[in-house]
Amino acid sequence: MKHKDQDLHQEILNKAEEGRTIALATVVSTKGSVPRKTGAKMLVDPGHELVGTVGGGCGEGEVIAIAHQVIETGKPQMVHVDLTEDILSLSPAVCGGTMEVFVEAIKRQDVE
């Protein structure tokens, strides 16, 4: 796991050096069956690739949308991701659990 954390840290440094404001999303708690566990991280850089994942599917889409808001406002947010929809629903994101994901903006001055 250290290798992935080192890659993520390096990406944060690279993007900060470029002067980009990005968002870091971190799974801070889970309940039930979810695709990723506490500590999973994802970098969101609008117009560029994602680095890492907090689970994929609709839940990750919610987190990405909030990450864009956080980048614009600079205000961190907690995202409640509910993956407990009825198993007969058409949603591909039904895992049976919930996650709390903390999303924060990271700017150049935050890593200097």
Reported as a single tens digit per residue, the pLDDT across 90-104 is 555 556 789 999 999
pLDDT at 80: 94
Q: Which residues of 60-71 are buried (b: 16+ CB within 10 A; e: fewer)?
A: bebbbebbeebb
Per-residue pLDDT, averaged over 101-110, amounts to 90
For residue 25, the enclosing domain spans 2-111
Number of domains composing the chain = 1
- For the stretch 54-90, pLDDT in tens is 987 778 999 999 999 999 999 999 999 988 865 555 5
- Structure tokens of 65? 């949308």
Among candidate residues 42, 40, 103, the one with its CA nearest the CA of residue 68:
103
Higher per-residue confidence, 26 vs 93? 26
The pTM for the full model equals 0.85
